[in-house]
Structure 1
């Protein structure tokens, strides 16, 4: 079994838990609800990206995958000022990312949500009439390169996989799902 297959199997319950709890229908039913959802994602990504970049095994590849700026762009397009965005709550505490392999496990969750984001983007565009320019840049983050970015992440995971690292990668992915669930599903 590949590490990617193991991650998918072992984190499936956590993935299903967050998917059920987030109530996407309600969170994209209006611009206000959607903006509140993006604000929660922003609070997660700003903290996570800062923590993960310091330990990322390939910082250049990591930076290409960062999404906090896209979230800030969407929030501005939806009427928030830079000052309001800067004052948004941040996700604390974040799980420790002690090693590059822990970052890879955490990235599995974030990169996987990017894949799901393409489906969410279609719903947001249809329901709210938004585009990349008017508030849907985060969910369309990689555009046409989404599949290629996922494949390149899979290559990074495979290169890092070993009997010594795989348990840490899977544990980090599971913990990231837990933190993201608690943060996104908390009533602000």
Structure 2
């Protein structure tokens, strides 16, 4: 079993748990509900990106995948100014990221959610009329490059795989799902 297959298998319960708890239909039913959802995502990504960037095995690779700027752009399009965005609550506590391999495990969750974001972007467009320029840049992620970005991430993950690191990578992915669930699914 490859590391990607192991991650998919061992994080499936956590993935299903967050997907069920998110109640996405409710959270994209109105512009205000959608803005609240983006605010929660912003709080997660801002805190996570700050912590993970310090330990990322390849900083340029990591930074090319950061989403805080997309979320800030969406929130600005939905009426929040830069000062209000910066003051949004951030996710605490974060999962421990004791080594570069732990960042890769955590990135597995974040990059996987980017894949799912393209489906959400279509629903947001259909229900609310938002696109990449008017409040849905985050869920559009990498746009046409989303599949290629996932593939390149998978290659980096597989290159880092070893008997010494795989358990840490999987544990970090599981911890990230837990933190993300608790942060996104709690009522602000």
Q: TM-score, normalised by structure 1?
A: 0.99
For residues 78 and 116 of structure 1, what CA distance do their matches in structure 2 show? 22
For residues 92 and 63 of structure 1, what CA distance do their matches in structure 2 show? 21
For residues 84 and 49 of structure 1, what CA distance do their matches in structure 2 show? 19
Q: Find the counterpart in structure 1 of residue 9 from structure 2.
A: 9
Give a deviation string over 1:20-60, Cα, whole Å, max 9, x none: 00000000000000000000000000000011011111111
Q: Find the counterpart in structure 1 of residue 113 from structure 2.
A: 113
Q: Find the counterpart in structure 1 of residue 48 from structure 2.
A: 48
Over aligned residue pairs, what C-alpha RMSD do you find? 0.4
Q: Find the counterpart in structure 2 of residue 96 from structure 1.
A: 96
Give a deviation string over 1:96-144, Cα, whole Å, max 9, x none: 1110000000000000000000000000001000010000000012010
Q: Find the counterpart in structure 1 of residue 33 from structure 2.
A: 33
Q: Pairwise mapping of residues 112-151 of structure 1 onto structure 2 (< 5 A)?
A: 112-151=112-151
Q: Find the counterpart in structure 2 of residue 177 from structure 1.
A: 177
Q: Find the counterpart in structure 1 of residue 70 from structure 2.
A: 70
Q: TM-score, normalised by structure 2?
A: 0.99
Q: Find the counterpart in structure 2 of residue 84 from structure 1.
A: 84
In structure 1, the gaps of 5 or more residues are: none
Tell me by how many angstroms 1:157 deviates: 0.6
> Structure 1 runs of 4+ off > 3 angstroms?
none
For residues 5 and 12 of structure 2, what CA distance do their matches in structure 1 show? 11
- Number of residue equivalences: 188
For residues 125 and 23 of structure 2, what CA distance do their matches in structure 1 show? 18
For residues 112 and 141 of structure 1, what CA distance do their matches in structure 2 show? 11
